[in-house]
Amino acid sequence: MANKIVLISDDSDFFEFIKLKLELRKSDKLFAFKFDDVPANLVFLENALLIINSEGEKEKTLDLLKLFHGTPIIVVAYNDDEIYKRKCYRAGAFDFVSLLTTDTEFRARILPALNIASLIEKNLQYRKILVKNKIISDNNEVYIDYEKVIDLTLDEIKNSGRNAVFMAIEPDKKGKFLIKPNYIETVLLANIRKNDILMNYAPDKYYLLMLDTNKESAKKLWENISSKFSQKIYAGIVSVKNQTGIQLINTALNKLHEAMHSSSGDIEYCMNLNSSDEISPYNNFKLYRKEFKQKMEKIISPVFYSIRQKYTNKLAGVKFEVANCDGYGEMNVTGKHYSSSFRISSPGFSKIHIDISLKTDSGKIDSKRITFEPDEMEAGLLTDLLEQFMSEIKNQGGL
């Protein structure tokens, strides 16, 4: 693949100086711009290696580093100013070189940056194909009907008897703001096979269905992938057995949140949901009821409140109603042309059901049920399900 390199400097002599160091191939593409020309030429900076001359333009260089955070950028300075070097690295510089850096060392140090730019280019190509085939939405945020994609693949796995693993992936909630948009899937796509299925079900959150593999192989692959991030990335891994798509999703999300909240941050695994060696600790009605009441007080009600506060401030004309009683909790969202319900109930207090429904003025009704063991209900999992619920309403034109 041809390299795309962009030089940025207000000194024309710098362009000639760097060209001699680069040893470009015929297929490589080289562009050169002054600082003030950058806004009009952003298309050339996409998925490119940027080499910036910071001499006399230190503040502009720092501004560009912050603007293109995640893009591989090498800063060139005329001396090894340690304080300025640290500022550049904090702002997102990939590397920092000076005029004293030898040609050989310079070429060796740009190779990793060129590799990152190549990954970004590869990711953009994948995404264009996915959009063209209507697999993901135009804004590249979420899979279109990923549940259908999963269900169809599970049918294929069941009929063929192939091994498979399902993963739920998410970055650390604080660290994700330091990761450039689309970079996570860039790394994932570069490390998985063509027949593996990657699904972006919410911003910064992914499902990965890997065929012809097992948990141990998936663990080794994940250790390799996660090592490529400076921020913490978590995964919940599930062996595909006889589960439905909803069961796989729910279990993987549960294991993901266990990993995110464990002290070690280790990857958590899930065995077959029907495994005979899983023994429920809920052995009597009183205990069932007590446990559900605790879930209501510590998890369900606070999460309902959080989601209601988040969207009440953003959505005009939308009404939220929350009801909590013995054995169930419910959030109703009503707009001008639709009404929707997210109801959590525990009949007999031994299982937890989530019933989701959406009804429009045209008479269209969509509904589904998700079932959990009581100990699978966690705040992070419930938050994800409610965010998906709000997203589905939005996709139906309700918001």
| pLDDT digits 0-9 by tens, 79-127 | 777 888 888 888 888 899 887 888 888 888 888 888 888 877 777 777 6
Q: Tell which residue, 20, 292, 45, has the closest CA to residue 180.
A: 45
Please give the DSSP secondary-structure letter assigned to residue 242: S
Would you call 398 helix, strand, or coil by DSSP? Answer: coil
Q: 325-383, pLDDT tens digit by residue?
A: 666 788 888 887 788 889 888 765 567 888 888 887 776 667 788 877 776 777 888 88
Residues 52 and 18 occupy one common structural domain: yes
What is the reported pLDDT for 125?
73
pLDDT band at residue 323 using 50, 70 and 90 as cut-offs: confident
CATH, residue 22 = 3.40.50.2300
pLDDT surpasses 50 at 284: no
Q: Using CB atoms within 10 A of its CB, is residue 284 exposed (0-12), middle (13-18) or buried (19+)?
A: exposed
pLDDT surpasses 50 at 306: yes
> Is residue 279 one of the residues assigned to a domain?
no
Residues 148 and 249 occupy one common structural domain: yes
> Is residue 172 one of the residues assigned to a domain?
yes
C-alpha distances out from residue 120 to 15, 141, 187, 230, 325, Å: 24, 16, 8, 17, 50
What is the reported pLDDT for 33?
92
C-alpha distances out from residue 76 to 49, 53, 61, 97, 284, Å: 13, 5, 10, 5, 69
Single out the residue in 125, 147, 163 at which a domain terminates: 125
Contacts of 227 (CB under 8 A, 6+ apart): none
pLDDT band at residue 235 using 50, 70 and 90 as cut-offs: very high
- Cα–Cα distance between 9 and 289 in angstroms, integer? 69
Single out the residue in 270, 297, 323 at which a domain terminates: 270
Measured at the alpha carbon of residue 101, what is the angle toward residues 105 and 60, in degrees to the nearest 5? 115
What is the reported pLDDT for 280?
38
Residues 301 and 324 occupy one common structural domain: yes
> Is residue 280 one of the residues assigned to a domain?
no
* Bigger pLDDT: 188 vs 44: 188
- Cα–Cα distance between 22 and 245 in angstroms, integer? 50
Residues 341 and 214 occupy one common structural domain: no
Residues 44 and 87 occupy one common structural domain: yes
> Is residue 203 one of the residues assigned to a domain?
yes
Q: 125-184, pLDDT tens digit by residue?
A: 776 766 666 555 555 444 556 777 888 888 888 888 889 999 999 888 777 777 776 788
Domains identified in the chain, total number: 3
Residues 266 and 289 occupy one common structural domain: no
Residues 102 and 26 occupy one common structural domain: yes
Residues 260 and 359 occupy one common structural domain: no
What is the reported pLDDT for 266?
45
CATH, residue 181 = 3.30.70.270
Residues 200 and 293 occupy one common structural domain: no
> Is residue 214 one of the residues assigned to a domain?
yes
Residues 147 and 70 occupy one common structural domain: no
Single out the residue in 270, 305, 328 at which a domain terminates: 270
Task: State mean pLDDT over 183-204.
Answer: 83
Domain that holds residue 315: 285-395
Q: Using CB atoms within 10 A of its CB, is residue 19 exposed (0-12), middle (13-18) or buried (19+)?
A: middle
Residues 139 and 264 occupy one common structural domain: yes
> Is residue 27 one of the residues assigned to a domain?
yes
> Is residue 25 one of the residues assigned to a domain?
yes
Weakest mean pLDDT among 101-110, 140-149, 276-285, 294-303: 276-285
Residues 258 and 147 occupy one common structural domain: yes
Q: Mean pLDDT, the chain, as a whole number?
A: 79
DSSP letters for 85-126: HHHHHHHT-SEEEETTS-HHHHHHHHHHHHHHHHHHHHHHHH
> Is residue 130 one of the residues assigned to a domain?
no
What is the reported pLDDT for 167?
93
pLDDT band at residue 302 using 50, 70 and 90 as cut-offs: confident
